[in-house]
Structure 1
Amino acid sequence: MRVFRPAVVALAGLTFATTLSMGEAFASKGSFIWLGPDNKSYVIANPPNSRCLTMQQRARGARNETNAPAVLFSGKKCNGRPTPLAPGKHAPRSAAFSSVRFG
Structure 2
Amino acid sequence: MMRPFHRITIGLSSIALSLVLPAGTAVATNGTFGWVGPKGKSYSLQNPPDRKCFNMSQEARGARNSTKRPLAVYAGKSCRGHLTRLAPGQSAPSGARFSSVMFNPS
Q: Structure 2 length as normaliser, TM-score?
A: 0.74
- What is residue 102 of structure 1 aligned with on the other side? 103
SS in 1 for 2:57: strand
1:44 equivalent to 2:50? Answer no
Deviation of 1:28 (Å): 0.3
1:85 equivalent to 2:83? Answer no
Q: Report percent identity of matched pairs.
A: 49
- What is residue 29 of structure 2 aligned with on the other side? 28
Deviation of 1:52 (Å): 0.1
Q: Deviations over 1:35-78 (max 9, x none)?
A: 00000001100011000011010100010000110001000010
Say what the alpha-carbon RMSD is for the aligned residues: 1.3
Deviation of 1:81 (Å): 0.4
Q: 1:54-93, aligned counterparts within 5 Å?
A: 54-93=55-94
Q: Deviations over 1:18-41 (max 9, x none)?
A: x86x34xx1000000000000000
Structure 1 distance, partners of 2:59, 2:35, is 10
Q: Structure 1 length as normaliser, TM-score?
A: 0.76
SS in 2 for 1:58: coil
SS in 1 for 2:60: strand
Contiguous gaps of at least 5 residues in structure 2: 1-22
